[in-house]
Amino acid sequence: MIVRERITDYINSLEPDRSPLLEEIVKKARAGRVPIIRDETAAFLKTMTVLKQPKAILEVGTAVGYSALLMAEVMPSDCRITTIEKYEKRIPEAKENFLLAGESNRITLLEGDAEEILKGLAGPFDMIFMDAAKGQYLSWLPELLRLMAPGGLLISDNVLQDGDIVESRYAVERRNRTIHTRMRDYLYELKHCDKLETSIIPIGDGVTISVLKQDLPERT
């Protein structure tokens, strides 16, 4: 746990009940070990969606559609979500969930490799939520910056790796070392990119929120 478990449990206990559909999606996902965002991260994502009032959202990593439907619940009625998923076995379930929620007209699911799909998108997007292969975050960043609208938000999930990110490369399991190194590089780039203003937030498994800076008039 990044934050004390008792604090997280208390915060989550304050959350209002999910809709029956979202509750069913969560139960099935957790039973099937499908990776979906944690409750405190879900609350943060919804709050940022309400704050930003986006017209276009891009999501990298659909899974079964849970986070897309969370955003759809609170986004403006004229907003549209484009979401990308590579894992073929989850795509039919995501589409079915969008249909059951009555959101198929506002959510477009693009099937395939994110790297290739991102190159073919035009944007701009007011808000991007990244929750896919952690080892690819850094390689996708140039395309994400191209697609972001000025003042747009980039929210990245699972960046602290249950706290392992603070450990030495050699203190984590060998199979996780490449991802560990790439995530550290990604966080460094977010914090040192001149185009972005970024905060790293230790909720869930770690979230970053980055704002694409707008051109400001020169001071006189």
* Domain range summary for the chain, segments of one domain joined by +: 5-211
Grouping H, G, I as helix, E, B as strand and the rest as coil, residue 13 is helix
Residue 2 has pLDDT above 70, yes or no: no
206's torsion region: left (phi>0), alpha (psi -120 to 50) or beta?
Answer: left
Average pLDDT over residues 91-117: 96
Residue 155 sits at the vertex; the CA angle it makes with 152 and 160, to the nearest 5 degrees, is 150
- Percent pLDDT > 70 in the chain is 87
pLDDT of residue 181: 75
Grouping H, G, I as helix, E, B as strand and the rest as coil, residue 186 is helix
Q: Is the pTM of this model over 0.75?
A: yes
pLDDT of residue 58: 98
C-alpha span between 170 and 160 (Å, rounded): 16
C-alpha span between 49 and 128 (Å, rounded): 10
Instruction: Specify which residues 80 forms β-bridges with.
Output: 56
C-alpha span between 86 and 113 (Å, rounded): 5
Q: Are 114 and 84 a contacting pair, CB within 8 Å?
A: yes
213: how many CB neighbours lie within 10 A of its CB? Answer: 13
pLDDT of residue 204: 86
Q: Are 84 and 40 a contacting pair, CB within 8 Å?
A: no
C-alpha span between 125 and 48 (Å, rounded): 14
Give me the chain's average pLDDT, please.
89
pLDDT band, very low/low/confident/very high, at 219 (cuts 50, 70, 90): low
pLDDT of residue 144: 97
pLDDT band, very low/low/confident/very high, at 171 (cuts 50, 70, 90): low
Superfamily of domain 5-211: Vaccinia Virus protein VP39 (3.40.50.150)
pLDDT band, very low/low/confident/very high, at 218 (cuts 50, 70, 90): low
Integer-rounded Cα Rg, in Å, for the chain is 17
- Percent pLDDT > 90 in the chain is 73
pLDDT of residue 183: 86
Which amino acid type is present at position 7?
A: I
Peptide bond into 150 cis (omega under 30): no
How do residues 121-141 score in pLDDT, each as one tens digit? 998 999 999 999 888 999 999
Task: Count Cα atoms within 13 angstroms, Cβ side, for 176.
Answer: 16
Q: Are 98 and 124 a contacting pair, CB within 8 Å?
A: no
